[in-house]
Structure 1
Amino acid sequence: MFYTYLRGLVVFILWALNGNAHYHNKEKIPAKEENYILVAPHRTWWDPVYMAFATKPKQFIFMAKKELFKNRVFGWWIRMCGAFPIDREHPDASAIKYPVKMLKTSQRSLIMFPSGSRHSTDVKGGVAVIAKMAKVRIMPAVYAGPMSLKGLAAGERVDMNFGNPIDISDIKRMNDQGVEEVARRIQAEFDRLDAELLPYQKGQKSNIFWRILRALAFIPAIILGLLTFIFSFLASFVWDPDKHRK
């Protein structure tokens, strides 16, 4: 329930702030009954929100670097929404075992940014191993739009493009060659999706009517955000999302 609420709240705030989001090829997203790994290049702090909103009602778990869990409220938020910490410097087996288990036994899919960090184009092999072990498809997506909060608030156009699900069942072993082939397929789809969005990225902004309406909506959005922050701070002392998840 909290996942759905927080996703809706953040999308509402983003709409009040920007209001110029467009989604392409959503019909390619697998049915909600199918689990899959949703992957994208990590380009902004808000592209995961647009990804999660476009694929609703599907819910996800996602990896997050352990440093993000140090903040009491933000750490509690992402744990409530299915995030689990990973140590990028010293990853252990849980970074693979937990998402594989969830993909096999729960109704939640997995969001991964195989490049690891924002603005990187190096596709890592973790998504290949998890997809192979869980026997799920890989769903590629790309974000195009403002990279700064200033651009987002100015109403610059946001585009999310979804590609063709990638089936890796034909790859027998996830050795170096197998991982390289999965990475090649993912990167090729990222490149194709980016190319498809180029004609749309002309710096179009929403019209003045919508900008006024968004400005009025921004006030209740901020109030809801503050109330959620206070609630989350208090709840973090009495509710442990990890224990509930177990």
Structure 2
Amino acid sequence: MIIPLWNLAVKYRFHHPERMPQTGAFVLSPNHYSEVDPLVMGVASWKLGRAPRFLAKASLFKNPVLGWVLRTSGQIPVERSGSQSHAAIRAAEDLVSKGRMVIVYPEGSLTRDPDLWPMRGKTGAVRIAIERGIPLVPAAHWGTQQILPRYGKKLSLFPRKSVDVIIGEPIDLSSFEGRLDQASLTAATTVLMDAIAALLAELRGEPAPAERWDPVKHGQKETGRLDQEGTDRVES
């Protein structure tokens, strides 16, 4: 039901759709700068031939509309920390073992970068890919901010908006095979985030920053600003 209604409000322009694997398990990792991103990328994945499953921030499930969509489509809520977070990773791995795709936002939350470039990533996406020996496919989208700006509260569906989605080549994880120590996972995540930034740069037609925005380096100053806007605290 959601897709016909969504099609009235959003026009997709796909770049390299042939890169989306049509069979087997894999992890799809896009950029993240709007609360409506899961819906945008979920419909995009469906249009590209794969039923999406997400590791989505648990707070998204509290939204009456988006939460209903996420729950009824079998998505996986992710808590910030603790045993529930580990349970979510295990649930995603179960989906993978059944040959399904899972969408994991490696940034973990909306990017804090002032210009909406990807920030430093977390290691969950690469961990699943390395542990299960499955492809890790980067992706990027641009235009979602016209539907719901970062930290926005009100959807703007009309007039109809255009969203560009680009699928990347699978990340070469061969040098990280069997390496699940923190240093290796962090290094692999850097490779992933650089690939996502490069895809976004292609969509935006401008170069990506040489370094990812790092909440640890900018945390104290940025946290105060974000708290005033009613968002989550910056994670380390």
Fold in common (TM above 0.5):
yes
What letter matches 1:58 in structure 2? R
- Correspondence for 2:70: 78
In the alignment, is residue 22 of structure 1 matched against residue 19 of structure 2?
no
Distance in 1 (CA, whole Å) between partners of 2:133 and 2:201 is 29
In the alignment, is residue 34 of structure 1 matched against residue 32 of structure 2?
no
- Correspondence for 1:145: 143
Distance in 2 (CA, whole Å) between partners of 1:196 and 1:48 is 21
- Correspondence for 2:96: 103
- Correspondence for 1:224: none
What letter matches 2:56 in structure 1? A
- Correspondence for 2:175: 170
Larger Rg: 1
TM-superposed deviation, 1:141? 0.7
User: Which of 121, 124, 128 is the equivalent residue of 1:123?
Assistant: 121
What letter matches 1:188 in structure 2? D
Distance in 1 (CA, whole Å) between partners of 2:133 and 2:105 is 19
TM-superposed deviation, 1:113? 0.7
Number of residue-to-residue matches in the alignment: 189
- Correspondence for 1:207: none
TM-superposed deviation, 1:70? 4.5
- Correspondence for 1:63: 55
Distance in 2 (CA, whole Å) between partners of 1:10 and 1:68 is 17
- Correspondence for 1:192: 198
Does the aligned pair in 2 maintain the 1:128–1:174 contact within 8 Å? no
Paired residues for 1:149-228 under 5 Å: 149=147, 153-171=158-176, 172-199=178-205
Distance in 1 (CA, whole Å) between partners of 2:195 and 2:4 is 30
Distance in 1 (CA, whole Å) between partners of 2:111 and 2:165 is 16
- Correspondence for 1:216: none
Distance in 2 (CA, whole Å) between partners of 1:85 and 1:146 is 22
Does the aligned pair in 2 maintain the 1:40–1:140 contact within 8 Å? yes
- Correspondence for 2:81: 89
The change in CA–CA distance for 1:181 and 1:145 in structure 2 (over 3 A counts) is: same
Distance in 2 (CA, whole Å) between partners of 1:40 and 1:179 is 18
What letter matches 2:42 in structure 1? A
What letter matches 2:37 in structure 1? D
TM-superposed deviation, 1:18? 3.6
What letter matches 1:97 in structure 2? R
Does the aligned pair in 1 maintain the 2:56–2:104 contact within 8 Å? no
Distance in 1 (CA, whole Å) between partners of 2:102 and 2:13 is 23
The change in CA–CA distance for 1:194 and 1:71 in structure 2 (over 3 A counts) is: closer
What letter matches 1:182 in structure 2? A
The structure that is helix-richer by fraction is 1
The change in CA–CA distance for 1:122 and 1:71 in structure 2 (over 3 A counts) is: same
Unaligned runs of 5+ in 2: 113-118, 148-154, 207-236
The change in CA–CA distance for 1:16 and 1:156 in structure 2 (over 3 A counts) is: closer
The change in CA–CA distance for 1:193 and 1:70 in structure 2 (over 3 A counts) is: closer
Distance in 1 (CA, whole Å) between partners of 2:122 and 2:83 is 13
The change in CA–CA distance for 1:15 and 1:77 in structure 2 (over 3 A counts) is: closer
RMSD after superposition = 2.5
SS in 2 for 1:11: helix
